[in-house]
Amino acid sequence: MKIEEILKSTVPMDNSKKIILNVLYTQNVITENFNEILKPYEISGEQYNVLRILRGQKGNPANMWTIQERMLAKTSNTTRLVDKLLLKELVTRKVCPENRRKIEVLITQKGLEVLAALDPKVVAHEQFFSKNLNSEEINLLNQLLEKYRNQ
Amino acid sequence: MKIEEILKSTVPMDNSKKIILNVLYTQNVITENFNEILKPYEISGEQYNVLRILRGQKGNPANMWTIQERMLAKTSNTTRLVDKLLLKELVTRKVCPENRRKIEVLITQKGLEVLAALDPKVVAHEQFFSKNLNSEEINLLNQLLEKYRNQ
DNA sequence: ATTTTATAGTTGTATATACAAATGTTAATT
DNA sequence: AATTAACATTTGTATATACAACTATAAAAT
């Protein structure tokens, strides 16, 4: 469905505006769909993101700055996201002995199990949308988005 | 910059995952940039969205459902967005005389002035990113995004 | 006419986001 | 050694988002 129909626009839209609206709306569709997957596990998208970063550390602890740096939304509050994950016992947190300003965050076995349960659903989610495009179009879309946001 | 570099991914990513991350990250970049434009006017992106919908009504009042329907994020709470706009005297709100369940929301002169002041900045914002693409690529990107999210 | 169902919007609560200020620690400067 | 600056994280506050429950009104069914 075209973006003008979705937003019930009465006037024709500039293509530059259309891209903005298409990106924002597509993000909404992806995120809503993904939140449905996460709902049974009672974690938010950003909390999932933190868990993925921690698993990617392969046993090494991550400090707050490392997590922040690898997150999609750089402005989100890592301390409080980790707080929530701690309450659910999906991560551990301790002060770094070498540098007491730093915090060492690690994913727990329980956290790894949640991710493992989610893995196939996440892959299915990724393919749910991209199945509408052939592999050439998928590459092209990635390239165009990367080119688009280059300032 | 490629999405893997931005998120400092250590492992190569599936192209389907890349699209998701590219869309989410591009949305973040666009939104952060746009929030900078709105900041001096002390309205949020969603509040701006409501004002645009109301201006598009060309003097006719919009009820809550109409506004909701035309918003990007369908889940946002229209009542409270309108509350905020009312406090700033950018809109008026009254009960519809024909159907007392409905609310008639109208943009005020002050609201129209805020939009008029923003108009050139919004156009510049739209072109700031799309200038990286030629008109053919712009069309293609719109088409691919629309095709991508078709379920 | 009364009850039921549908519609339109509001309110409550928990969580998330944005941004500035504050805290504690380490490193650099005088 | 004491002061200043830089760094890493936390806390406070206002606003926004998600989602369910609630209220009020109108329309439909009995």
Per-residue pLDDT, averaged over A13-22, amounts to 93
What's the CA gap between B43 and B81, in Å, rounded? Answer: 10
Alpha carbon of A82: minimum distance to chain B alpha carbons (Å):
19
What's the CA gap between B141 and B133, in Å, rounded? Answer: 9
On the question of pLDDT at A148 being above 80, the answer is yes
For A57-73, write each residue's pLDDT tens digit.
989 999 999 999 888 87
Return the exposure string of B52-88: e unless at least 16 CB atoms fall within 10 Å of the residue's CB, then b.
Answer: bbbebbeeebbbbebbbebbbbeeeebeebbebbeee
CB contact under 8 A, A142 and B10: no
| Beta strands A91-95 and A103-107, pairing class | antiparallel
pLDDT at B138: 96
In the beta sheet, which residues pair with residue A106?
Answer: A92
Full-prediction pTM beyond 0.95? no
Answer yes or no: is A79 CB < 7 A from strand D. yes
Which residues of B spanning 31-50 put their CB closer than 7 angstroms to strand D? 43-47
CA angle A123, A127, A129 (to 5 degrees): 135
pLDDT at B18: 93
CB contact under 8 A, B144 and A149: no
On the question of pLDDT at B76 being above 90, the answer is no
On the question of pLDDT at A40 being above 80, the answer is yes
CB contact under 8 A, A19 and B142: yes
pLDDT interval class at A134 (50, 70, 90): very high
Concatenating the DSSP letter of every residue in A111-131 gives HHHHHHHHHHHHHHHHHHHHT
pLDDT at A6: 85
| Domain locations in chain B as residue ranges | 43-150
Per-residue pLDDT, averaged over B55-76, amounts to 88
Contact partners, residue B144, CB within 8 Å, separation at least 6 = A133, A137, A140, A141, A144
pLDDT at A24: 92
Range scoring the smallest mean pLDDT among A85-99, A112-126, B14-28, B64-78? B64-78
pLDDT at B99: 93
pLDDT interval class at B73 (50, 70, 90): confident
Per-residue pLDDT, averaged over A43-55, amounts to 92
pLDDT interval class at B146 (50, 70, 90): very high
For B5-21, write each residue's pLDDT tens digit.
888 887 888 999 999 99
The CA–CA distances, whole Å, from B75 to A18, A31, B30, B47 equal 21, 12, 20, 14
More confident residue, A74 or B142: B142
pLDDT at B9: 81
Q: Give the Cβ contact number of residue B111 at 10 Å.
A: 21
- Residue among B15, B16, B132 minimizing CB distance to A147: B132
pLDDT at A90: 94
pLDDT interval class at B124 (50, 70, 90): very high
| φ, ψ for residue B62, nearest 5 deg | -115, 140
> Å from A104 (CA) to D7 (C1')?
16
For B78-109, write each residue's pLDDT tens digit.
999 999 999 999 999 999 999 999 999 999 99
> Å from A131 (CA) to D14 (C1')?
42
A43-150, what's its fold?
Arc Repressor Mutant, subunit A (1.10.10)
